Chains A and B, each alone.
Chain A
Amino acid sequence: MKVLVCISQVPDTTTKVGFTDNNTKFNTQGVQFIINPYDELALTRALEITEKQGGTVTVINVGLAETEPSIRKALAIGANDAVRINAEPMDAFFVAEQISNYAKNENFDLILTGRESIDYNGGMMAGLLGEMLQLPSVNVITAIEVENGMAKLERDIDGGRERLEVKLPMVGSAQKELTEPRIPNMRGIMAARTKPLTVVEPIGAQANTQTTSFENPPAKGACKLIDPANAADLIGLLHNEAKVI
């Protein structure tokens, strides 16, 4: 069983989001980077599956050298090896082209991504990879078991849950609930230093989209306080003033 887990490096969730260069770039000054939380779930579940039935877990990232600490952390959590495609991730299409180009000759049984990155929030990677590699893709999976070349899955659907079975190979995106993220231990951290991290040069692919500028949302006006004794007034305000009910 060969599993590929796609990991992106994102700003820590407590980051105050700001921009530089005339609002065209995310301001990374003082920002702590982490592995995208959903990708950690994907990685942990991949490890659980391969520990149970044998196999390897490779992590892949499209990024410049600055992402290596996150890749090493993935190795410390337990991935067997890692690949970094040495390019700035220009847009999701570009990233998917790079990953699918790498994966197409590697015969992975399962490719996992996070359900979305918590920075750019695209949520498109699993579907793009599925189509580029001509594999089925299942988004927001909350459970996966693998048996005899078949994945038994649960996924979130609008307003509910679906159970399904998919013949491997397939692409899936990890949703919360898939598992609990694993924290690297000392032995893992030591082992990660010597695990293979291969740097691959990108193929010539194009970005189809380009972010031209960023903006922070406007600050909220003052909060209108209602005396708790008159809490019932809230309903009238929501109807007559805010006009939302």
Chain B
Amino acid sequence: MKIIVFAENQEGQFKKSSLEAVSYAAQIAAAHNGSVIAVSIGHVSNDKFAELGKYGADQIFNYSQEVFNTFFGETYSKALAHATKNAGAELVIISNTYSGKTIAPRTAAQLGAGIVSGVISYPNTDNGFNVRRTVFSGKAFADVAINTSIKVLAITPNSFSLIENNKTASIENMDAGISSDTLASKSIEVARASGKVVLTEAELVVSGGRGMKGPENWHLIESLADILGAATACSKPVSDIHWRPHSEHVGQTGITIKPNLYIAIGISGAIQHLAGVSASKVIVAINKDPEAPFFKAADYGIVGDAFEVLPKIIEAAKSFKSQQA
């Protein structure tokens, strides 16, 4: 079985989510006597490709034409479909990031492929082709069968560990023959907060709710996040009243996340909030109300005032980090 993986780069660096996808594909290839072709789209310097080999790519298809300098679903999906047809691949793996969600359905439609997003398991091929995904914003899992010959899987970031599988991947320069003249879309400006951990892909998340009392107290959340190398998040009302940006709102109507650690401070644990975070591996709740529903969903809990508890945790985190260094 040949497997195509979208190896997305951001400013010339392969993203961790892409390496997870390569590693995921390599595990499937190993079980099915297959091979992994990582598809790089846009400009990446040649020395970076070794990283894809490290996680198990046998081959790299490199689409580096100018038309790919800006990211559009229309063009990137064409390259991916081109690669799939060219290789005669049966499986396409894409990380379920914002860009992944943009190109996965377009690629699937071009290939007439069945698509499943939010995948959290390796495929089970005992009887057909089945994968597990989350549904109802994390309140349940669904096992889904795909019945087309080509299949597209958009896998949830942070769900699969990186497994090294050293290979020397050969690089093939490809051209999907796309001209930029036909493009209806034009990028005007891309703004990324530099140096911040991206919430949707973060392994550690520190999150605050209305119990934090006001935006002036967020330095506590931010300093704990900085020390741990975590992303920051918040509950819905906190973003609704503009204490924090909307992009930090997690939950059923915000972002669904699946970090290794979620620390919830001054958040009650309403069902809509839990829906977006309950898939986290370890949950810590800090709340002054012992009856707060979050304690039922948490692994560790501290019943106490955030403003007394947080400074202690921040100090402990600081000394832990300096010991590690």
| A binding-site residues for B, Cβ under 8 Å | 11, 13-17, 19, 37-38, 91-93, 96, 118-128, 130-132, 135-140, 142, 155-167, 170, 176-177, 208-217, 220-221, 223-228, 231-239, 242, 244-245
Q: Check if B303 is an interface residue, CB within 8 A of chain A.
A: yes
Shortest CB distance A177–B (Å): 5
Q: Are B101 and A127 in contact (CB under 8 A)?
A: yes
Q: Are B300 and A223 in contact (CB under 8 A)?
A: yes
Seed contacts A123-B118, A127-B77, A162-B189; 11 additional CB < 8 Å A-B pairs: A136-B72, A139-B98, A139-B101, A159-B198, A161-B190, A167-B184, A176-B249, A214-B135, A216-B139, A224-B299, A228-B308
Q: Are A210 and B144 in contact (CB under 8 A)?
A: yes
Q: Are A213 and B142 in contact (CB under 8 A)?
A: yes
Q: Are A124 and B104 in contact (CB under 8 A)?
A: yes
Q: Check if B325 is an interface residue, CB within 8 A of chain A.
A: no
Given contacts A156-B247, A244-B260, contact A124 B101 (CB under 8 A): yes
Shortest CB distance B49–A (Å): 21
Q: Are A13 and B252 in contact (CB under 8 A)?
A: yes
Shortest CB distance A68–B (Å): 23
Q: Are A176 and B253 in contact (CB under 8 A)?
A: yes
Q: Check if B309 is an interface residue, CB within 8 A of chain A.
A: yes
Shortest CB distance A244–B (Å): 4
Q: Are B140 and A217 in contact (CB under 8 A)?
A: yes
Q: Are A158 and B106 in contact (CB under 8 A)?
A: no
Q: Are A158 and B97 in contact (CB under 8 A)?
A: yes
Given the complex, which residues of B lie within 8 Å of A91, measured CB to CB?
114
Q: Are B302 and A245 in contact (CB under 8 A)?
A: no
Given the complex, which residues of A lie within 8 Å of B110, measured CB to CB?
131
17 examples of A-B residue contacts, CB within 8 angstroms: A11-B136, A118-B137, A124-B101, A124-B108, A125-B105, A137-B106, A156-B247, A162-B188, A163-B188, A166-B186, A213-B142, A215-B142, A217-B141, A220-B297, A225-B302, A228-B302, A235-B317
Q: Are A220 and B296 in contact (CB under 8 A)?
A: yes
Q: Are B191 and A211 in contact (CB under 8 A)?
A: no
Q: Give A14 to B142 CA distance when docked, in angstroms.
A: 20
Given the complex, which residues of B lie within 8 Å of A166, measured CB to CB?
184-186
B148 contact from A118, A124, A208, A235, Cβ within 8 A: A208
The residue in chain A whose Cβ has the minimal distance to the Cβ of B8 is A158
Shortest CB distance A174–B (Å): 12
Q: Check if B272 is an interface residue, CB within 8 A of chain A.
A: yes
Q: Check if B220 is an interface residue, CB within 8 A of chain A.
A: no
Given contacts A131-B77, A209-B114, contact A220 B298 (CB under 8 A): yes
Q: Are B117 and A217 in contact (CB under 8 A)?
A: no
Interface mask (B132-152 → A, CB under 8 Å = 1, otherwise 0): 011111111111111110000
Given the complex, which residues of A lie within 8 Å of B297, measured CB to CB?
220
Q: Check if B279 is an interface residue, CB within 8 A of chain A.
A: yes
